[in-house]
Structure 1
Amino acid sequence: MALGRGKRRAARVEAVEGDPGWAVELRGVRRQYGRGGSAVHALRGIDLKLPRGSFTAVMGPSGSGKSTFLQCAAGLDRPTDGSVRLGGTEITGMSENKLTELRRARLGFVFQAFNLLPSLTVEQNVLLPMRLAGRRPDRRRAEELLGQVGLAGKGKRRPGELSGGQQQRVAIARALVTRPDVVFADEPTGALDTRTAGEVLALLRSAVDGMGATVVMVTHDPAAAAYADQVLFLADGSLADALRGASAAQIGARMTSLTAPVYAGVAA
């Protein structure tokens, strides 16, 4: 049975701010590309703490540093300065091998393009993070998750036999299979129609509410961001604002009010 939308916990972020168990913690994170007068400052000193069991959306104009933020927070890129902690573990000075092990065992990822392996079955795709982490594949866990995302009985199919929305549901199950500290989602609804996007976002929301997952999602869509507990706004590599429990209209209005000059050379 698919997970329901569940009761929205808009006050979740405020309610646990005294809890030392942060899922994501960035301290003075800067990311600079190049040197001297041609240097590009993608992130200009990001300080934030995100609690376990929360849903955070990250928005900003093109060139604001959203992707750089996600890459640094997930250990996919190293900050020039500052530190990053995931699930209480300092990752900034980790070797590449240790970072790879951590990402496989303790992080989940959902991408716009799904990134499923077409030669594997749905079940095998879901279990892939367990195999990569050197853990024994838990078929019961995969079956349970596929049922929760509305794909019961489809474990033996190939991704090419599924719709785009169904493939993204598989990707969500895959992201959750190892019970990760954090699920990072990069424009997870960008390739989906409005109705299907709503279904996928409801699954991410219910993973937080019903399974205690922590989700950090980059999106350009105010309607998608409205599913989150809080929305962080980036501008020119800095945190410009944050809204909690906001509607799509409120989020859209805040985005409109942000100035959006062209930041030459800064990745979106």
Structure 2
Amino acid sequence: MGPRAEHPQTAQGQQVGRPAEPPAVELRAVRRLYGRGEGAVQALRGIDLVLPRGSFTAVMGPSGSGKSTFLQCAAGLDRPTSGEVLLGGEPITGLSERRLTELRRSRIGFVFQSFNLLPSLTVQQNVLLPQRLAGRRQDRRRAKELLAQVGLGEHAGRRPGQLSGGQQQRVAIARALITEPEVVFADEPTGALDTRTAQEVLGLLRRAVDTLGATVVMVTHDPVAASHADRVVFLADGALAGALHGPDPRTVADLLVRLTSAAAGHAGSGHGGTAYGGTGHGGTAVAA
């Protein structure tokens, strides 16, 4: 799989040689602090990042690096302590909880490690659920098309409990795409799957980007999974620690090992971030 051409980006989304179109998601100086006083924990330390439309971005880092907090803030599931998150150029940080809920139902798709399907609903009903919750007409024809695309066209009337784990994750992907969201956030989507099934699910996410024009942001710990993305963004100690374009599993794994070792070395030192470094074979470290 060849890497997609991508231009360096600033926090304001300025790109050379491309039309001035707002990115799918943009984070500006996003910080997230948990707790107060001496016991406070800085989960995110001023993240500036542009996630272009029609791209597949993997987010990686050592345990405790801030990956989950990053996803939650970028998706509007959690509010930054400071900074700003924009969806399609629209600031969402200051929206009411009701407006954020509406936004998540209509403009964002989610895929989780645990599938999160409702066991009492059929496969088709689970796919249609986001439209139902958003108060939109349930497009059964669209649901049928998506199920066919994920290889489950003949399973629409079954219950999730009658499907394998890989099949349930395929349903979750179809559900995430039913509202034609501006961005799909995937949190360890292959963590509960065997290697072959994981590859099939990653292929579906890749095709959603390449054929449907979707934007996918995936948190993962797996270098092989990350290699399906256009770009891998690394976090360490709540700060951006580098990025790889056109990643391959070996290079991703090497850099992740180095970041994990560096994080262990800085444990308890109060170090505020990790410097960008070279990546060796197969990728280029850039300011993310």
TM-score with structure 1 setting the length: 0.93
For 1:193-204, what aligned pairs fall within 5 Å after superposition?
A: 193-204=194-205
Structure 2 match to 1:260: 263
Structure 1 match to 2:134: 133
Residues 168 and 21 (structure 1 numbering): CA distance in 2 closer, same or farther, change over 3 Å? same
Return the offset for 1:14.
Answer: 2.7
Match for 2:7 among 14, 28, 52? 14
Return the offset for 1:153.
Answer: 1.5
Distance 1:9 1:251 in 2: 16
Return the offset for 1:21.
Answer: 2.3
Which range is displaced more, 146-155 or 16-25?
Answer: 16-25
Structure 2 match to 1:53: 54
Distance 2:6 2:175 in 1: 25
For 1:1-268, what aligned pairs fall within 5 Å after superposition?
A: 8=1, 10-14=3-7, 17=15, 18-19=18-19, 20-258=21-259, 259-261=262-264
Residues 232 and 131 (structure 1 numbering): CA distance in 2 closer, same or farther, change over 3 Å? same
Q: Which amino acid aligns with 1:11?
A: R
The 3-state SS of whatever aligns with 2:208 is helix
Q: Which amino acid aligns with 1:182?
A: V
Structure with greater contact order relative to length (CA < 8 Å, sep ≥ 6): 1
Equivalent pair of 1:13/1:51 in contact (CA under 8 Å):
no
Distance 1:150 1:54 in 2: 23
Return the offset for 1:9.
Answer: 5.7
Return the offset for 1:263.
Answer: 5.8
* Number of aligned positions between the proteins: 257
Q: Which amino acid aligns with 2:168?
A: Q
Return the offset for 1:38.
Answer: 1.5
Moved over 2 A (4+): 11-21, 260-264
Residues 191 and 255 (structure 1 numbering): CA distance in 2 closer, same or farther, change over 3 Å? same
CA-to-aligned-CA distance 1:151-175 (integer Å, 9 cap, x gap): 1121101101110000000000000
Distance 2:170 2:78 in 1: 27
Distance 1:79 1:9 in 2: 35
Distance 1:192 1:99 in 2: 31
Distance 2:113 2:232 in 1: 19
The 3-state SS of whatever aligns with 1:251 is helix
Distance 2:63 2:49 in 1: 21
Which range is displaced more, 36-45 or 236-245?
Answer: 36-45
Structure 1 match to 2:12: none
Distance 1:178 1:15 in 2: 30
Distance 1:240 1:227 in 2: 20
Return the offset for 1:13.
Answer: 3.2
Distance 1:246 1:120 in 2: 39
CA-to-aligned-CA distance 1:104-137 (integer Å, 9 cap, x gap): 0000000000000000000000000000011010
Identity %: 70
Q: Which amino acid aligns with 1:91?
A: I
Equivalent pair of 1:106/1:179 in contact (CA under 8 Å):
yes
The 3-state SS of whatever aligns with 1:14 is coil
